[in-house]
Structure formats: structure tokens, C-alpha cells
Amino acid sequence: MSTVSKYASALFLAPIIGLSHPVIAFESSHIPMTPARWQVNGEVSFQHDRSKQDVLFVNKGYAELKNTNFSNGTIEFDTKFVGERITGITFRQHDDEADALYFRPSADCAVSDECIQYMPTAHHVFEWDLYGKDQTHAPINLQGWNHIKLVLSGARMNVFINGARAPTMTIGTLVGGFPDGSIRLHGPASYAHLSIAPNIVDGLPAVASTDPAEVDLRYVRHWLASKPFVMPSRMDATLQENTGIDPVYSSMPQATALWKPIAPDPGGLINLTRWYGDAQTGPGITGIWLKTTIDADYDQIKHVDIGWTREVWLFVNGKLAFQSKNLYGIKGASKEPGGRLSLTNGSFDLPLKKGANQVVVAIDDNFAGGQQHWGWGLEMRLANTDGIRPAAGAAAAVP
């Protein structure tokens, strides 16, 4: 069984021991929007609206449904957004890890593929910029109430917005980390008419959809990762942004004990946020070294597509082959699409010699000078595998 298959099995089939919330059976699917049922964090109030009855308003922070361990079934609620401010729901929540449905309400939601998005969260970090493929347009009402329906079954989710008969969004592989957990409603937004129907999944299969990257040998999937380190930085006069100083190849850790295998997410994504979070305190920039080996049958040059967030330097056999920046919101340093990770971020030619080739990446988590963090990761795909054999690598334990 592959690493991803083992991970999926552990994620969706194995029982979870030591849950912080007791399992409750919902005798009624209707959940009152009253203080007795909700644990609040931040600016949260309970109101009464003549048309909506009890209303939960989250201005900042979130409200967590008490004594709830939800796994599979249907979650429905009405929500009213606060202008175009971003908000959402997290589910299967365990401490700082969860799955999330993220709303970006706007006047062009009907045509904008950024209107709603699925993403995991880990270490209190929303990983929206690593999962740009999991977003779409939606018939959102910016001025009034919207009805949201989530159908969750094992590794899959369907989302229906405002009574749509066909799913507005389909997610084939949920990667939040747990098969069950609590539910949180985030602000700023109003919420009403919440109902939960455990195990009502409308025939949605529980098994994750096929991951093409798992069997596509062009993806470089097996990496060893160093421990995080503080990346030296300086102010870039052109970008007016603090940026990492070019790392020296010889500064890479040499001790074998300092390197650990890191398992990819679906799509061949090396999700550093899942493994390390922001990995730092204060305004400094965090860096990590990654390395792998590619065996070549003869001297050759391989074209490579690469996706990443923040700053990256790639070396082959000790020589710099590629470096670039993907800094969200920084003019001249933000890659399409919109600073998100994608294999369209960049490409380069990788010179390989006959025999074993060491490929090493230095990558940093430079977001707004280290004051804020979102998703951090890397994806790499070769043009073909003619005459080469990428490293198989050891399976990594799920963090």
C-alpha cells in the first residue's frame, strides 16, 4: 500500500482515541442558536430576528458547538455575510486542525472561481494558497441570507448553495487530518437555522477519489526535510519587502539524523504547513531544506514545472539551477494564479549527469515579513521520466 493510501486509511477508517469532545446522538437535527449550546471565542453575540428566530452573530473569532463529535452526514445552515469580508465553517475540528469551507462573498461570486474554497487548517494556519484547485464560483446573495448545505461522507464532500440541485462544489479528498471532530462557525457573519443529520450522505461514496499524482512518476514525491531554521533576511529596495538572503549550499545540514522523510498530500504537494506550521515566533523568516535523489541513465536535461509559496532556491549536484519568489500581494514577486501554489508558478531546465544526482531545495515561509502565515509548500513535476529513476524514499509518519 502506498504512503498516501496508508494515510487515507488512517485518516478515514481508523478509530480516534482520546477525543476531547464526547460523542452525542442528535435526537433532533435542529441546533438552537443559544448560549447553552455554544462555546464562544472572540466577539460573539446571540440575537433574535423575527424572520430567522434565534441568530448567532460572530464578529471576530468563532463559536464552537458544545459536546459534539461529528463525522459523516449533512450540515445545513443559513448565513448572512458582513459585506465582502471573508468567513467560513470548520468541521472535524481537533484543537488547531480541521477541514474548512471558506467564503469570499463578492458581487461577482456567480462567475468568480474564488467565491468559495475548501482547504485544511493546521497549526492554526488557513492553507488557502496551497489548495487553489479546490475553489469555485457560487450563487451567493451578498445582501441577504444564504442557505448552505454540506454533505460529508468519509473522504468526500459535496456543497450546495442556495438550493442548487447539483453540487456547487465537489471535493474528492478531504485532507484535514481527522475523520470526526467538532464544528465551528467563524466570523464575521450571522448564522441561523443550523441542522445536523448524522449519516445522511445522499449516496455520496466515502472512499477518496483517485489521485493521479500518486501513480504519475513525473511528480517528485519523496523528499527528506531538515529541521526549520531562521533564514537570514534583508530589505529588498525594489520590492520594499523583507526577503531571504540567498542561502549557501554548504550551509545545508550534513548530519543524517537531522533529515526526516516527509509524505506528500494528494497532488504530490509537499505541505510544509501540515508538518511545521509557521515554525517560528517573532518577525523572522523560517527556512527549510528539502533533498531527494534522481538517478539518470545518461547525461541529460529535464524540463521541470514547479509550484511553491514564498521563496525558493533549487540546487542540483551543488549548483544553483533555479531561484524565484512567489510572495502573495507583492507586485513583481507574486506568481499567477494570484500568489497561490500551482505548477504554473515557474519552470526551468534541470541538468542531470549519468548516475545519482542530488536535488536540494531551500524554501522559506516569508509572508509579509513573517508577521502572518498561510499555506507553505512545494510541488515539482518532471516533463517525463525517460532515462531516470526518482528516489523511492521511506514512508513518513503522519505528524
User: What separation in angstroms does the CA of 187 have from each of 110, 220, 399?
Assistant: 22, 38, 29
Q: Is 156 helix (H, G, I), strand (E, B) or coil?
A: strand
Instruction: Give the model's confidence band at 370: pLDDT under 50 very low, under 70 low, under 90 confident, else very high.
Output: low
Cis omega before residue 253 (within 30°)? no
C-alpha span between 370 and 282 (Å, rounded): 7
Domains, the chain:
3-198 (2.60.120.560), 213-390 (2.60.120)
State residue 373's pLDDT score: 73
At 247, give phi and psi (nearest 5°): -70, 150
Q: For cell 494558497, what's the residue?
A: 129
Cis omega before residue 337 (within 30°)? yes
Q: Give the residue-averaged pLDDT of 322-344.
A: 93
Residues 6 or more apart whose CB falls under 8 angstroms from that of 394 comprise: 222, 261
State residue 124's pLDDT score: 81
- Checking if the pLDDT of 162 tops 90, the result is yes
CA 364 to chain centre: 17
- Checking if the pLDDT of 26 tops 50, the result is no
C-alpha span between 86 and 378 (Å, rounded): 26
Q: For cell 524540463, what's the residue?
A: 303
Question: Minimal CA–CA distance to 280: which of 213, 371, 195, 390?
Answer: 371
Question: Minimal CA–CA distance to 253: which of 287, 295, 293?
Answer: 287
Residues 6 or more apart whose CB falls under 8 angstroms from that of 99 comprise: 90, 91, 92, 118, 119, 120, 121, 157, 174, 175, 176
At 376, give phi and psi (nearest 5°): -135, 120
C-alpha span between 82 and 63 (Å, rounded): 16
Radius of gyration of the chain from its Cα atoms, rounded to whole angstroms? 22
Q: Give the residue-averaged pLDDT of 204-215.
A: 94
C-alpha span between 79 and 74 (Å, rounded): 16
Instruction: Give the model's confidence band at 95: pLDDT under 50 very low, under 70 low, under 90 confident, else very high.
Output: confident
- Checking if the pLDDT of 227 tops 60, the result is yes
* Mean pLDDT over the full length of the chain: 87
Alpha helices in 66-153 (DSSP H): none
Question: Minimal CA–CA distance to 313: which of 290, 284, 332, 336?
Answer: 290
Cis omega before residue 188 (within 30°)? yes
State residue 374's pLDDT score: 85
pTM for the model stands at 0.85
Task: Give the bridge partners for 372, in sequence order.
Answer: none
Specify the higher pLDDT residue, 7 or 184: 184
Specify the higher pLDDT residue, 72 or 283: 72
Question: Minimal CA–CA distance to 128: which of 314, 316, 273?
Answer: 273
Residue 276 CB burial class (10 angstroms; 0-12, 13-18, ≥19): buried
C-alpha span between 325 and 335 (Å, rounded): 8
- Checking if the pLDDT of 146 tops 80, the result is yes
C-alpha span between 293 and 252 (Å, rounded): 15
Element (H, E) at 11: helix 3-12
Amino acid, res. 42: G
Residues 6 or more apart whose CB falls under 8 angstroms from that of 348 comprise: 303, 304, 306, 314, 321, 322
Condensed to tens digits (0 to 9), the pLDDT of residues 36-91 reads 999 999 999 999 877 768 999 999 999 999 999 999 999 999 999 999 999 999 99
Kindly state the cell numbers that stand for 374: 498561510
State residue 88's pLDDT score: 95
- Checking if the pLDDT of 369 tops 80, the result is no
Specify the higher pLDDT residue, 126 or 283: 126
At 251, give phi and psi (nearest 5°): -85, -5
